Structure 1
Amino acid sequence: MKTLFELLREETPGNIRTQLLSKINDIINKLFSSGQKVGTLSLITNVFSPIALPIGAMLNVHATQILEQALIRFRRDGCEDLYVILSTLGGDIHFPELFIGKARGLGFERINIIIPSIAMSAGTLLAMLSDRIIGFSFASIGPVDPQLIVQTPQGLRVISAIAYKRLIEETLPRLAYEKKLGVDGLSRLYIAQDMYLYQESLRSLDYVKKVLNNNVKLKLDENKFEELLSTFLTDVETHSKPLGLKVLKELGFDVIFLDSNDKYKELAELIAEYYSRVEHAFVFEPSKGARILLIGAPFGEIIQEAIVQVVKPPPHRVGPPSQQQKKEESTKNIQILGSQ
């Protein structure tokens, strides 16, 4: 007979999520496994606190270190195929290659990315590097446009690598031509720019192209690969422009839509319920800070928070009595003159 503590523990939100993930793992094993044991984990980054920096809720190298512990445990349990429930707005552009490399190095035969809702930027790149993508037809992905975080006197700024490259190579020359500034005028425009930032923009874009060439090019038809580069990298309109999973399907990626076949109905419902409970954890479960990272597995979960502190405005400075009196007299005089 279970104790009261055990009964209460079973009903905690975290334990309910873990149980759901175990059920998801069992269904995936029945649907997709051809004899290999599968391991399912969740990787979800988000932030809903208005006083927490969104850049803290991103995929990063630190998350890879935590994920590695889960991957090692899966391998010890005999898992050969890995399934990752992914939801993120993006992150470190090096994360996808690093994570996939870790998983391959540990011996996982197939890496599958499940997208219940959104996987933008670095999340999209991670999906591209996987062996198969599973998700809902309404799920969103987006351009793989590296974002550079720059410290300015006004605080942190996030700058699009593609946008800065276009500024230097297209916008400024066009502006100089239209305004008839000549070579000297264009030179002055360039001097006013941060050329180190331009260099880093080029380097980050070259890195993404290299990763896609090394890992994705062989999967796709040559024309489709060029279309991929155009859609997700070179001809991007805005960094946050959402694209549907069907775009990857049309390009030739192995994509399964959970809402397209009744045989996936149970799995789709479990994933939807699990994801809604994770969103609830980010918004409503009591915490000291803003929740930014959740890594879940059938054997437990890790939730990380960004401790946020509200900066109070400085107290109003009051000058010496002599200054206060003079200021009041001066103000009074102005008011009198105005009334006359």
Structure 2
Amino acid sequence: MPNWGEVLKEIQETHKKYPGKNPLDIVRRKYLKKVSTVTSRNVIAYYSGWLQKPKAPDTAVNDKDKSGFMLTIHKMDKSKGLDLILHTPGGDLAATESLVDYLYSMFGHNIRVIVPQISMSAGTMIALSAKEIILGKHSNLGPIDPQMGGMACQAILNEFEDAKRDIKSNPHAASLWQVIISKYHPTFLGACKQAIDWSENMVSQWLIDNMCSDDTSKVGGIMKMFADHKKQKSHARHISKKQCEEVGLNIISLEDNKELQDAVLTTHHAFMHAFASTNAVKIIENHNGIAYVEQSVPSIPTK
């Protein structure tokens, strides 16, 4: 299996072999095609460059992504199902719901998610909508508790409840708590509660309809693992493959298929080189080389 440095060397050699052509595209698409060849399924890679460009706009899941998926799904044989390779920090809840609904309308429930490294927050929600998730020993998912202004909604509600209890038992504490809770207004607290209900109900239904359709009793434990802020403590918590298996998710080990492992991880390295060497901040690309590239300049569909 080519490592990061060997993939870079192949890109450099490809540049010499095919002058005037983009070696990053050639190498990346070669291995993305190989993933499809191994699985005999449609493949779409959804990659964000947030690790290389943490301050760049448009790295998160958003409504513009639908255009990329529409482009890459066009003309696919939907009966072959979809393997979706995910690498994302997460993003907008409404955009995530709309995207999953669209994928269901195209492929039914015949969707698998592959996580070569990390798929957090809304990315984990997308993974939980699949029938199976393929993870390596190094792969991570993350908590799905919604955020408001960078703060966990459940933590905000918990803090407000702590304030009420403390003030009730010790009225003199009111002046101290006032400084803290004055930043929260009733509408904001209500929005936090609604966001929690929305995300939990949505993901629970996806699990019931797809991954846990044969055993819905597992849904409660899965939601406890991924949606309970009190359990995970931080929205940035990395949840391991072992934890995913223990809680009852339908997990396939990437290491069980050496040929698929080689293709997926080499594809991953190729995407990382693309973000490091270009202005791209997000790439949605299929196994036929059709890609939607979001850059620091307007997005460019390519073939």
Pick the TM interval, shorter chain: 0.7 to 0.9
Alignment of 1:69-80 (within 5 A): 69-75=71-77, 79-80=79-80
Structure 1 counterpart of 2:4: none
Shift of 1:89: 1.1
Q: TM-score, normalised by structure 1?
A: 0.73
Cα distance in 2, alignment partners of residues 229 and 108 from structure 1:
23
| Conservation of the 8 A alpha-carbon contact between 2:112 and 2:134 | yes
Q: Does 1:18 align with 2:29?
A: yes
Cα distance in 2, alignment partners of residues 119 and 16 from structure 1:
23
Structure 1 counterpart of 2:152: 160
- Structure 1 residues 42-51 or 271-280, which shifts more? 42-51
Closer/same/farther in 2, CA of residues 177 and 292 from structure 1, 3 Å limit: farther
**1:271-297, CA deviations, whole angstroms, 9 ceiling, x for partnerless residues?**
1111011111111x143xxx3211111
Cα distance in 1, alignment partners of residues 181 and 111 from structure 2:
45
| Conservation of the 8 A alpha-carbon contact between 2:88 and 2:118 | yes
Cα distance in 2, alignment partners of residues 242 and 147 from structure 1:
16
The structure 1 residue matched to 2:289, chosen from 299, 305, 311, is 299
Alignment of 1:1-340 (within 5 A): 7-8=18-19, 12-29=23-40, 38-47=41-50, 48-49=52-53, 51-52=55-56, 56-75=58-77, 79-108=79-108, 110-149=110-149, 158-170=150-162, 172-176=163-167, 180-181=171-172, 190-217=181-208, 219=212, 221=215, 224-234=218-228, 235=230, 236-259=232-255, 261=256, 264-283=257-276, 285-287=277-279, 291-297=280-286, 298-306=288-296
- Counterpart residue identity of residue 193, structure 1: Y
Structure 2 counterpart of 1:319: none
- Counterpart residue identity of residue 111, structure 1: I
**1:145-204, CA deviations, whole angstroms, 9 ceiling, x for partnerless residues?**
11223xxxxxxxx2221221212123x224435754377987886555222221111111
| Conservation of the 8 A alpha-carbon contact between 1:100 and 1:129 | yes
Give SS of 1:229's match: helix
Shift of 1:103: 1.9
Give SS of 1:276's match: helix
Cα distance in 1, alignment partners of residues 179 and 119 from structure 2:
40
Higher relative contact order (CA 8 A, sep 6+): 2
Structure 2 counterpart of 1:334: none
**1:283-319, CA deviations, whole angstroms, 9 ceiling, x for partnerless residues?**
1x143xxx32111112332221235xxxxxxxxxxxx
Closer/same/farther in 2, CA of residues 7 and 226 from structure 1, 3 Å limit: same
Give SS of 2:81's match: strand
Give SS of 1:74's match: coil
Cα distance in 2, alignment partners of residues 178 and 305 from structure 1:
55
Number of residue-to-residue matches in the alignment: 277
RMSD value, Cα:
2.9
Give SS of 1:239's match: coil
- Counterpart residue identity of residue 168, structure 1: F
Closer/same/farther in 2, CA of residues 188 and 256 from structure 1, 3 Å limit: closer
Shift of 1:256: 0.5
Identity fraction in percent: 18
Q: Which runs of 5+ in 2 are unaligned?
A: 1-14, 298-303
Cα distance in 2, alignment partners of residues 80 and 300 from structure 1:
17
| Conservation of the 8 A alpha-carbon contact between 2:66 and 2:99 | yes
| Conservation of the 8 A alpha-carbon contact between 2:87 and 2:115 | yes
- Counterpart residue identity of residue 42, structure 1: A
Q: Which runs of 5+ in 1 are unaligned?
A: 30-37, 150-157, 308-340
Q: Indicate the structure (1 or 2) with the bigger Cα radius of gyration.
A: 1
